[in-house]
Amino acid sequence: MSADEHRNEQIEDEQKAQQAENETADPAKEGQPDEVAALREQVKEYQEQMLRSQAEMQNVRRRAEIDVEKAHKFALEKFVKELLPVADSLEKAVESTEGHEDKGELVASIREGVEMTLSLFMNSLQKFNVAQLNPIGEPFDPQKHEAMSMVPAPDAEPNTVVAVVQKGYTLNDRLVRPAMVVVAKAGDSPKIDEQA
């Protein structure tokens, strides 16, 4: 080994020794591992908060989209409720002419006109997903029907609709107005002793 190489090794050894002394003597570097761990923990917390915030934003966006979809789908509900008495009146007009065909050509032409108007009106409602509930013969469903009374009906099953007082309507399968119905009660239902 030459003298220069030997001197270079000595200088490198001295520099390493000096660096080791500086690291142990520097008070700012004594707590560095704790600070690094604390900073890493803080970064981890911030990342978790960011992920939670992103998830919450996605949930808010999804809820807003659902609300907008429902608003579009059911925006006509109030309007439909206001039009239903018109349909009821047209149906009553057709019913009132039943049995009066012998009264003359005028009654027949009025009935025909009202039936055509009612048909046109119902077709217009169907274009906007408004469906009519006419549940005669169906089992009573408290979600769709409103029972006006119960009558004995020996030829009908108990708890089935035997008459419709007012038809019900749905908008996009959501109930707008329940059907007002008369329900059959069991013929052999026990009588309640009211004096007891």
Residues 145, 180 within the same domain: yes
52 occurs within a structural domain = yes
Check residues 177 and 5 and name the one with the higher pLDDT: 177
Q: Which of 74-78, 89-93, 139-143 has the lowest mean pLDDT?
A: 74-78
In a domain, 60, yes or no: yes
Farthest CA pair distance, the chain: 138
Question: In this structure, are 71 and 120 located in the same domain?
Answer: yes
- Would the pLDDT of 30 be above 80? no
Q: What is the pTM of this model?
A: 0.60
What DSSP state is assigned to residue 156?
S
List the CATH number of the domain containing 175.
2.30.22.10
- Alpha-carbon gap, residue 196 to 105, rounded angstroms: 61
- The answer on 77 and 118 residing in a single domain is yes
Please tell me the predicted confidence (pLDDT) of residue 69. 86
66 and 121, same domain (yes or no): yes
Instruction: Please check whether residues 134 and 124 belong to one and the same domain.
Output: no
Q: Name the residue range of residue 95's domain.
A: 47-128
Question: CA-based angle 163:168:174, to the nearest 5?
Answer: 145
pLDDT grade for 196, boundaries at 50, 70 and 90: very low
Quote the number of domains for the chain: 2
Residue indicated by tokens 């329900």:
183
pLDDT range class, residue 21, cuts 50, 70, 90: low
Q: Which residues contact 139 (CB under 8 A, 6 or more apart)?
A: 157, 159, 160, 161
Residue 165 lies in a domain: yes
* Span 78-123, pLDDT tens digits: 889 999 999 999 999 988 888 776 777 888 888 899 999 999 999 9
Q: Is residue 85 part of a domain?
A: yes
